Structure 1
Amino acid sequence: MTRPSIIALSARTAALCLPARGALYHLPATAKWRLSSSDGDNQMRQGETSLAVPLLHELQPRTRYRFEAEGFEAVEFDTPSCAGLVDAAEFGLVLDVLPEDFDGARRNAAALREAVAAVPVGGTLRVPAGVWTAFPVKLKSHMTFHLSQGAVLRAPSVRRGWPILPARDASGRMLGSWEGLPADCFAAPLHAVGVKELTIEGQGTLDGSGDRGDWWTWPKETRDGARRPRGLHLVSCSNVQLLGFAIRNAPSWTIHPQGCRQLTAAGLFISAPFDSPNTDGFNPESCRDVTITGVRFSVGDDCIAVKAGKRGPNGEDDHLSETRGVRVSHCLMERGHGGLVIGSEMSGGVHDVSIENCAMVGTDRGLRLKTRRGRGGAITDIAMRSVLMDGVETALSANAHYHCDADGHDAWVQSRQPAPVDVGTPVIDGVTIEDVEIRKLAHVAGTFLGLPEAPIRNIKIRRLKIVSFNYEATAAPPVMADGIRPMRHETIVSEQADVDCDEPALLSTAAISTHFE
């Protein structure tokens, strides 16, 4: 038998992984479990789980627990201590304030500020059950923000009086951003800047109210001097845990860790309507050591988009920093433009990213790398292993002619003729695909389009299995570049890319591009 691993612990929550053979987001079979304690919490609990990453809630601080599940070895763990529990309701929070009630949302924000300030170092702020509408709340270091079961912290629908996060702080560090560049943006409904040792947890919900007001009607604009807010924005934070809560209806990107270190997200549910603009699920940007596990996605854009900033139009690069060490496992991507996406903002470099034991159902693409001339930077050491793709239109893609930004269709970006290699030339080197199963394939199993001056290197594909095709699919270009021919039910096509596949029959000799200079 295998032993469950402890992914994350707080005083009241534990995230575990049950490493069953063949487990993706769900276990192959439901497992009964039992939780007991010999000190502090004497009430034995039991239940069953279908999840590979179950969470245990409402634990007691500073207590030793023993967890037993069918088919696994027992595991023991100790919850950390809590320096004090603060109840947000004691600071004058008003229940059921309407989303359009400016004064009520402002009063609740003031109450939450007082409550956050009252939390001792190492303590917990608990938001009780109920719907609480408040303007953005800023968290601090060495605290836990606990959303009780049935609690909904909801942003207002009115933009008047909404705080703005400036593009940079006094030292020049990037704070607000938009698509990889410093920019004033509205503060996220829940946000933190420069904090350490922060946990956001619970069985409650963060609601960004993107479906109210006008947020989704101006996706690429600036209004009132700022860009749209994220749902949860973490800037230059370290040692952060995000455990168990649901987050929905973000005004733009849902969870955006920016310049963070040592971040773990486990057991979340991230959702937005399928037609909501740029509501990516989880976008780590210029971050190191990020773990995303047991997370369920159903969003209007990419489920996970790994980024590293964008070089400015005049070559500005002082805000750039690499992303390195992103681990994605046991996640379910039910809908979205892409399952795991890297780019297109990758000028600082994206390195050492893996996705394992995940299921992608109905996404447009599975693994997607996208960049273009002018970006610079490198994407290296990317791995996908033991992933099921069901109803994914294009399973694997890498595109170095991505037609983003105002000049994306210009000849110098889209030309298939070699261009001079300079600081703006992006590099993709090292992509490993192993044990991927594709069901109901629509367009193409893999398409890799590199630059003639910088071909994609070291793509290794092993044990790729195409089980079935979507026979109702119509042919369409599988990547967003000019001059791409429509495809339907194709295997692996490449242009300016080095692809090594253990099944040569999967390598197509068909061209990706139509006649294109």
Structure 2
Amino acid sequence: MLNAIAVSARDAAVRLQWPGARYHLETPVPWRLTAPGTATAAREGLAEKVVLALHDLDPATDWRLEVAGFPPLTFRTRDCGGLFRPSGLVADEEQAAAGNACILAEAVAKLPENGTIELGPGRFFSMPLALRSMMVFRLAEGSQLLAPSSRLGWPILPARDAAGHMLGSWEGLPEACFAAPVHAIGARELTIAGPGLLDGGGDRGDWWTWPKGTRDGARRPRGLHLVNCDAVLLLGFSIRNAPSWTIHPQGCSRLTAVGLHIMAPHDSPNTDGFDPEMCEDVLLEGIRFSVGDDCIAIKAGKRGPDGKDDHLRPTRGVVVRHCLMERGHGGVVIGSEMSGGVENVTVEACEMVGTDRGLRLKTRRGRGGFVRNIVFHNVAMRDVETAISANAFYHCDVDGRDDWVQSRKTATVGAGTPHIRGIEIRDVAISGLSHAAAVFLGLPEAPLAEIRIDNLHVESFREEAIPIPPVMAEHIRPMRHEGVLAENADVTLGHVVGVEMSPLSITAAPLAERSTEPS
């Protein structure tokens, strides 16, 4: 069947729900779009993906979509408070970035409620642009909005606003950061849509040369930063070359992102694709990733080194569906910033190709919080290193390798103890596996609980794989072509088979490389 999963005034996304389809359809199918009773000409095309993005629609119009093999679908585009194409923008000149930003900011300020600002075809450099509530920012076919290479005059978000709420951030903590090339703070009913391109300029200037540092008292900007926003729709555009995380919704609710293309060079530092942090009710569907770090990293803030936690909120209700992860450190990752708690996450009908890991959970002592009620099903992985991992000894931060973090002795349970339980993995096919099908490493004082794996097939191994530790923790032995391994973890296996269709069993306490305690 056909489902309209997102509709704005001039753009829409429709799911072609076909049995067994993940990101791609097995066979392309023709489609035809009409607006019965109007003079609008019919449009036709060939759908190759499950999520079909439709652009340049008329507002407030009833549309009929016909796709071969499906019953027809009717939907209505939203009303529009007016379409405005800013005049005076200078194309293809980086030195025009400040002037272009002023023109765009004035258009945002004067835009009537539910109006649309459309960037037309061309390459336009602009200093960071702030969007607001009840508006559409539309990127037309052939349009590119590019950040300049220079930081001169670049605005900085403070760590907290006047009321003390987290505003600027870095890896889960309130910190001053440069404003993103496109950003919104406290906006509601905001839409960013269209087939155009946002370019964060990370490959220009020096952004990628100081990945963990500061310049001018601030951390690197995101590509698109949404802070404390509600009812946001991101539809159809491409975004690339973010200075750090590409799309970072922080403290947002009711967020829908469909039909996007998120890109960064494979060697660009910390260029995660999409990182919802302390967010609720998030849908990510039909998104294609190829990035330099995790494709999707679901986060919930980080407890400060002094235990400070007044900025933390949970992340809950995240659905990832019909996405393609072509390259990245992880396909879908939870953590390592998860101190506010992450729950009720579903990942389904996705394809992962060439990611280091498929599903990855990472945390450590000192983080506190919880991860629970995670469902991962109907996923195909090809040429991954370790398909599934949960690691409670992740050696992040400056103290990540200290004895109190990495010791395998039972520690006292307290506010800084992370808890993971309720992980369901089923209907997963893996080909070209390098290191291990699944590795679960829990804390002795807080073992991983209620993990179930069913109908997991390892179809082939990657012959040229080189043994390395499958999780980022101390005292882990290198592995190659291994099955399911667990330590301090309650794992139940259903139907789980290896290359020759023989059952895989759990290897208990298999991870230690050497004695984990100093003599």
User: Scaled by the length of structure 1, what TM-score is found?
Assistant: 0.98
* Paired residues of 1:439 and 1:467 also in contact (CA < 8 A): yes
State the match for 1:147 in structure 2. Answer: 139
5+ residue gaps, structure 2: 497-502
- Whole-Å separation in 2 of the counterparts to 1:327 and 1:237: 18
**CA apart distance, 1:509:** 2.3
Residue 32 of structure 2 corresponds to residue 10 of structure 1: no
1:252 aligns with 2:244: yes
Q: Tell me what 1:282 maps to.
A: 274
Question: What pairs with 1:80-119 in structure 2 (closer than 5 Å)?
Answer: 80-88=78-86, 90=87, 92-98=88-94, 101=95, 104-119=96-111
Tell me the distance in 1 between the aligned counterparts of 2:240 and 2:38: 35
Aligned residue for 1:445, secondary structure, equals: strand
| Structure 2 match to 1:71 | 69
Could you tell me how far apart the structure 1 residues matched to 2:28 and 2:333 are?
Answer: 31
1:64–1:78 Cα contact (<8 Å) kept: yes
Distance 1:208 1:364 in 2: 25
2-side partners of 1:41 and 1:317: how far apart? 58
In structure 2, C-alpha distance between the alignment counterparts of 1:120 and 1:450, rounded to whole Å: 54
Query: Post-superposition shift, 1:156?
Result: 0.3
Aligned to 1:161: 153
Residue 260 of structure 2 corresponds to residue 264 of structure 1: no
Aligned equivalents of 2:449, 2:23: Cα separation in 1: 31
Q: Does 1:302 align with 2:294?
A: yes
Structure 1 counterpart of 2:49: 51
Q: Distance in 2 between matches of 1:217 and 1:144?
A: 34
- Aligned residues with identical type, % of pairs: 60
1:449-468 equivalent positions in 2, closer than 5 A: 449-468=441-460
After superposition, what is the alpha-carbon deviation per residue over 1:208-262, rounded to whole angstroms, capped at 9, x for unaligned? Answer: 0100100000000011010000000000000000000000000000000000000
**Does the alignment pair 1:516 with 2:512?**
no
- Residue 239 of structure 1 aligns with which residue? 231
How big is each residue's C-alpha offset from its partner over 1:140-199, in whole Å with a ceiling of 9 and x where there is no partner? 100000001110000000011100011110111111000000000000000000000000
Structure 1 position 41, deviation (Å): 5.1
2:357 — aligned with what? 365
Structure 1 equivalent of residue 500 of structure 2: none
Partner in structure 2 of residue 171 of structure 1: 163
Summarize the alignment of residues 325-474 of structure 1 with structure 2, pairs less than 5 Å apart. 325-474=317-466
Alignment partners' CA distance in 2, 1:177 and 1:41: 50
- C-alpha separation in 1, matches of 2:209 and 2:223: 16
Q: Which amino acid aligns with 1:28?
A: E
Tell me the residue number matched to 1:186.
Answer: 178
Q: CA RMSD in A?
A: 0.8
Q: Deviations over 1:274-305 (max 9, x none)?
A: 00000000000000000000000000000000
- Structure 1 residue ranges, 4+ long, deviating more than 4 angstroms after superposition: none
| Aligned-partner Cα distance in 2 for 1:377–1:444 | 27
- Counterpart code for 1:34: R
Alignment-mate amino acid for residue 501 of structure 1: L
CA contact (8 A) 1:39 1:63 kept: no
Q: Give the equivalent residue in structure 1 for 2:60.
A: 62
Q: Distance in 1 between matches of 2:384 and 2:181?
A: 32
Residue identity matched to 1:516: T
How far is the alpha carbon of 1:503 from its aligned partner?
Answer: 3.6
Describe the superposition over 1:458-480 as per-residue Cα deviations: whole angstroms up to 9, x where unpaired.
Answer: 11101000100000001100000
SS at match of 1:121: coil
Deviation at 1:93, TM superposition (A): 1.1
Which amino acid is 1:87 matched to? R
CA distance in 1 between counterparts of 2:29 and 2:294 reads 31
SS of residue in 2 equivalent to 1:379: strand
- Show CA shifts across 1:60-96 (max 9, x none): 00000111111111110011110100102x2x21111
Q: What is the Cα deviation at residue 29 of structure 1? A: 1.1
Cα distance in 2 for residues equivalent to 1:238 and 1:258: 11
Aligned partner of 2:198 in structure 1 is: 206
Tell me, what secondary structure is at the counterpart of 2:133? coil
1:290/1:325 contact within 8 Å kept: yes
What is the match of residue 495 of structure 1?
487
Deviation at 1:45, TM superposition (A): 1.2
Q: How does 1:21-32 map to 2 (within 5 A)?
A: 21-32=19-30
AA aligned opposite 2:41:
Q
**Partner AA of 2:359 in structure 1:** L
Secondary structure (helix, strand or coil) at the match of 1:506 reads: coil
What is the distance in 1 between the residues matched to 2:389 and 2:272?
A: 18
Q: Which amino acid aligns with 1:149?
A: E
Deviations 1:3-49 (A, max 9, x none): 21111100101111011011111011111111111144531111111
For residues 188 and 38 of structure 2, the distance between their equivalents in structure 1, rounded to whole angstroms, comes to 28
Whole-angstrom distance in 2 between the partners of 1:39 and 1:373? 63
Secondary structure of the residue aligned to 1:109 is helix
CA offsets 1:410-442 (integer angstroms, 9 cap, x no match): 000001110000000000001100100000000
Cα distance per residue 1:282-332 (max 9 Å; x no partner):
000000000000000000000000000000011000000000000000000
Residue of structure 2 aligned with 1:483, choices 475, 478, 486 = 475
CA distance in 1, matches of 2:115, 2:506: 59
In structure 1, the residue corresponding to 2:507 is in which secondary structure? coil
Q: Report the Cα distance in structure 1 between the residues aligned to 2:495 and 2:74, rounded to whole angstroms.
A: 45
Report the Cα offset of residue 118 of structure 1: 2.1
2:283 maps to 1:291: yes
1:338 Cα deviation after fit: 0.2
1:372 maps to a residue whose letter is: R
Give the SS at the match of 2:396. coil
Q: Extract unaligned runs of 5+ from structure 1.
A: none
Partner-residue secondary structure (3-state), 2:105: helix
The secondary structure found in structure 2 opposite 1:54 is strand
Alpha-carbon separation, structure 1, partners of 2:428 and 2:495: 13
One-letter code aligned to 1:229: P
The one-letter code sitting in structure 1 at the alignment partner of 2:28 is T
Task: Give the 3-state SS of the residue equivalent to 2:215 in structure 1.
Answer: coil
In 2: Cα distance, 1:467 partner to 1:422 partner: 42
1:232 and 1:38 map into 2 onto residues whose CA distance is 37
- C-alpha distance in 2 between matches for 1:39 and 1:128: 29
Distance 2:161 2:303 in 1: 19
Check 1:181–1:494 CA distance in 2 against 1; reply closer, same or farther (3 A cut): same
